[in-house]
């Protein structure tokens, strides 16, 4: 009986590994969505939508910051032609 319990314990430990979550933005977006959803009596749906929206927003911000840091321009657009509101007219 002890052997069976021991094997079940080891099996549960080995199969219960969970990969770390990369849910940046989900907590803040979910909280904001839950508050907004609560006002409309749909708190859970608001939290789910806020989590997805917050995660996508932070992914977009990270992607932009990586592009700005890799282009060597210091975050400024150096490809502009002209100096006015209409760049093709000089």
Model pTM greater than 0.85? no
HSE value, Cβ hemisphere, 13 Å, CA-based, for 29: 17
> Which pLDDT belongs to residue 89?
53
* CA distance linking residue 34 with residue 51, whole number of Å: 9
pLDDT 10s per residue in the chain (90 long)? 888 888 888 888 877 777 676 777 888 888 889 999 988 888 899 999 999 999 899 888 888 888 887 765 554 555 555 555 555 554
Q: What six digits make up the tokens of 18?
A: 């969970």
Q: Give 19's DSSP letter.
A: P
> Which pLDDT belongs to residue 49?
92
What is the separation, in whole angstroms, between the first and last Cα of the chain? 88
Q: Give 85's DSSP letter.
A: S
Matching residue, tokens 């002890």: 2
């Amino acid at each position: 009986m002890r052997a069976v319990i021991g094997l079940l314990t080891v099996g549960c430990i080995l199969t219960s590994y969970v990969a770390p979550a990369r849910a940046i933005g989900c907590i803040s977006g979910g909280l904001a969505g839950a508050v907004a959803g609560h006002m409309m009596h749909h708190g859970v749906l608001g939290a789910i939508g806020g989590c997805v929206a917050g995660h996508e927003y932070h992914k977009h911000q990270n992607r932009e910051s990586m592009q700005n840091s890799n282009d060597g321009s210091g975050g400024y657009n150096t490809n502009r032609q002209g100096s006015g509101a209409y760049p093709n007219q000089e």
